[in-house]
Amino acid sequence: MECLVTLAVIAILAALLLPALSRAQDRARRIVCLNNLKQLGFGSALYAADHDGHLSGSTWREPMASQVRGLRTTDRHAADDDFNWLFPLYVPAAFGRSSFVCPATGNLIRTNLIPHPRKAGQWLVLDLADNGATPRSPAGGSYEVFGNFSDDLKKTERTIQTYAITRYSRVPGGTRPGPAAILLMTDADDSTGPGDANNYPDPVDNHGAAGSQVNFCDGHAAFIPRRQWLHVWNLAHDSNRLTP
């Protein structure tokens, strides 16, 4: 009888403690993820210092590279999520579950090198060329790069200071969001099917429907709750996106 009572008490305690433990684990993963984005943002600032203020690298993958070749406003395709421009000079740790991988995911950066298609003798990391298709994908990183504004103007140290709102209806026209409000990188979020909106916090995303991690062009990073997500997105993209 005493044994049964003890087991019952243990079961009750486990039921009480497990949800709290799960929440603590989620918070810990979120902290590590936020630190990753801070490191990637710092790497971007270092890159900009060496590349005429550009906050991200140019596109090398085809057919995207051909689609931006000759443009005067950007050398990076809007759909390009490559991070090879940061490795190894600006963010030296890449392989395994590194700064390019959110600990809340199953993503992984493998040591699969490919030759650079335009620069003889240089090598690229295939898994840094794009994010994992889902948070459970065993190949690819966990973050996306938004290197352009929505009108194919590249984000540079100059353009983030002067970019002004012309479309987003919740702020006065002419408002300049500035580097602290213009996002640069976010949790990877490609739509995987019904009920999973692209670039919007959903249950299947890195941190679920609670929100998404972001770094901004001034270098700071933050967790954006779902209720604030559309404002942050629209302010950075000068858009009027609505709840999916």
Taking the C-alpha atoms of residue 138 and residue 109, their distance in angstroms, rounded to an integer, is 8
Span 149-178, mean pLDDT?
96
Span 101-105, mean pLDDT?
96
In a domain, 11, yes or no: no
In a domain, 89, yes or no: yes
In a domain, 78, yes or no: yes
Span 133-140, mean pLDDT?
92
Per residue in 2-20, pLDDT (tens digit) is 565 565 556 554 555 455 4
In a domain, 13, yes or no: no
- Note down the domain range covering 109: 29-237
Please report, for residues 30, 56, 119, 146, 217, the alpha-carbon distance to residue 50 in angstroms, rounded to integers and kept in the order given. 31, 11, 18, 20, 16
Taking the C-alpha atoms of residue 68 and residue 132, their distance in angstroms, rounded to an integer, is 24
Do residues 186 and 213 touch, judged by C-beta distance below 8 A?
yes
Number of domains in the chain: 1
Do residues 206 and 28 touch, judged by C-beta distance below 8 A?
no
Do residues 177 and 165 touch, judged by C-beta distance below 8 A?
yes
Look at the pTM and tell me if it is higher than 0.85: yes
